[in-house]
Amino acid sequence: MENFTYYNPTRLHFGKGVVSKLGKSAKQYGSKALLVYGRGSIRRNGIYDQVVDQLSEHGIRFVDFEGVKPNPLASDVDIAAQKARDFGAEMIIAVGGGSVIDSGKGIAITAPSQHQVWDFFSGKAKPKKALPLLAVLTLAATGTEMNPLAVLQDHDTGKKIGYGHPSMFPAHSFLDPANTFSVSRSYTSFGVVDLVAHSLEAWFGVGDASLSDRIVTSIIKEAMEYGPDLLDDPNSYELRAKIMYAATLALNGLTNNGRVSGDWGVHALGHEMSLLFDIPHGASLSIAYPAWLKLHQQKLKHRISMLGKALFDTDDDSQTIKELESFFTKMEAPIRLDDIGINNPDQRQALLQSMNKNKAQGYHHKLSDKDREKILAYMSLA
């Protein structure tokens, strides 16, 4: 087992009606908030009103920052941070999915600084302080609600970068599974894919950590047992709850304890796909994972077999990759570029160029340009 430090101070409020605790929790940080959200779906499904009622009830004034995009932009974070400064916001309240909460994290470190958020994400500066962040989660997927990580995209430099800093843990996160009832069928799917992919990134990291391995496969089993059921019964509170909690545990640091780190190569590949074609994060992962596994099949034979044993009762590595593809397909997620309409050679060449230019790869299982070409070929299979 590798040495590790585990620290996760987020207070997770999970269950029916937990947004009713938002006002009291927020009040301890002051009386002025920046309220961050996406393109208005929370106005339609009533979550905006729940939040605003809480703030009014506890005498917290706020200004809105609306319009965070699904692949959130650094430039929006900078605009929002300026808005927070101008208003004198004492806290950030982010209401939405991963993109909104990630943006909230960026705003939380940028607002009290002289920097643009990209200075932090690109490593030019380190956050010295942060506004407290309260997150109301409306999509089960990224795990951002209980970790210090965020992914932002910078159109100027053409990069999508993940960044983490301890000051970026949400102080409180409010997870009401009922707030995910209105998530579309496809985003429900992609969320399940995302949580499985996070678990796999840990699994294919480096370091012998048997209990963390068991937790990884526990989380994946949960997704595999209840994910397809959820597509059949999207208004089941219990199923929404199971998937929501699994997504949180998949990336709150726990699966990584005792390892050097996860690999994150597949996410790097997926980010390039999202950047180039604006496809949902989850969809990029269900395409990239099987391809990445096929590339590394010999090198990672032992780990793939162990995974197959735990999940599919097979120790055949090829069979395990097939089973994983079947699961993604059952979840109605794409497993080939064709499935998302990336079917002409120019598009595929552009993707390869972009992956190579940004040297998309993981921390451990390094990818050469030739490897990426093979991965593209696997992603392009019929």
| Rounded distance between C-alpha atoms, residue 169 and residue 181, angstroms | 26
Binding segment (CB under 8 A) for a copy of itself, from list 89-97, 137-145, 251-259, 324-332? 251-259
Q: Which residue has the tokens 């990029």?
A: 284
**Residue in 14, 87, 312, 378 binding a copy of itself, rule: CB under 8 A:** 14
**Residue in 157, 211, 233, 343 binding a copy of itself, rule: CB under 8 A:** 211
> Going by DSSP bridges, is the β-strand pair 159-164/149-154 parallel, antiparallel, or unpaired?
antiparallel
Say whether residue 15 binds a copy of itself (CB under 8 A).
yes
Say whether residue 370 binds a copy of itself (CB under 8 A).
no
User: Which token pair is 166?
Assistant: 């301890």
User: Which token pair is 307?
Assistant: 């995974």
Say whether residue 24 binds a copy of itself (CB under 8 A).
no
Please classify residue 3 by burial: count the beta carbons closer than 10 Å to its beta carbon, then call 0-12 exposed, 13-18 middle and 19+ buried. exposed
Say whether residue 298 binds a copy of itself (CB under 8 A).
no
Helices 301-312 and 185-203 meet at what angle, rounded to 10?
Answer: 130
Contact between 209 and 259 under an 8 Å Cβ cutoff? The reply is: yes
CB atoms within 10 A of CB 214: 11
Least CB distance from residue 336 to a copy of itself, whole Å? 31
Say whether residue 114 binds a copy of itself (CB under 8 A).
no
| Rounded distance between C-alpha atoms, residue 33 and residue 50, angstroms | 15
Binding segment (CB under 8 A) for a copy of itself, from list 29-37, 81-89, 122-130, 207-215? 207-215
Say whether residue 245 binds a copy of itself (CB under 8 A).
yes
Say whether residue 1 binds a copy of itself (CB under 8 A).
yes
| Rounded distance between C-alpha atoms, residue 162 and residue 98, angstroms | 12
Q: x/- string (CB under 8 A) for a copy of itself, residues 214-243? A: xx--xx-xx--xx-----------x--xx-
Q: x/- string (CB under 8 A) for a copy of itself, residues 331-360? A: ------------------------------
Say whether residue 6 binds a copy of itself (CB under 8 A).
yes
How many residues bind a copy of itself, per CB under 8 A? 39
Say whether residue 86 binds a copy of itself (CB under 8 A).
no
Q: Could you give the maximum distance between any two Cα atoms of the chain, in Å?
A: 60
Say whether residue 27 binds a copy of itself (CB under 8 A).
no
- Concatenating the DSSP letter of every residue in 112-143 gives TSSS-HHHHHTTS---S----EEEEE-SSSS-
User: Which token pair is 353?
Assistant: 């160029």
| Rounded distance between C-alpha atoms, residue 294 and residue 291, angstroms | 5
Least CB distance from residue 257 to a copy of itself, whole Å? 7
CB atoms within 10 A of CB 61: 13
| Rounded distance between C-alpha atoms, residue 232 and residue 213, angstroms | 29
Binding segment (CB under 8 A) for a copy of itself, from list 87-95, 123-131, 193-201, 253-261? 253-261
Say whether residue 210 binds a copy of itself (CB under 8 A).
yes
User: Which token pair is 137?
Assistant: 């989660």
Least CB distance from residue 217 to a copy of itself, whole Å? 8
| Of the candidates 11, 15, 12, 46, the residue with the CA atom closest to the CA atom of residue 238 | 15
Q: Which of residues 159-188 bind a copy of itself (CB under 8 A)?
A: 177
**Residue in 36, 108, 249, 283 binding a copy of itself, rule: CB under 8 A:** 249
| Rounded distance between C-alpha atoms, residue 382 and residue 380, angstroms | 6
Say whether residue 2 binds a copy of itself (CB under 8 A).
yes
**Residue in 11, 115, 165, 309 binding a copy of itself, rule: CB under 8 A:** 11
Say whether residue 312 binds a copy of itself (CB under 8 A).
no
Least CB distance from residue 303 to a copy of itself, whole Å? 18
**Contact residues for a copy of itself, defined by CB under 8 A:** 1-18, 177, 208, 210-211, 214-215, 218-219, 221-222, 225-226, 238, 241-242, 245-246, 249, 254, 257-258
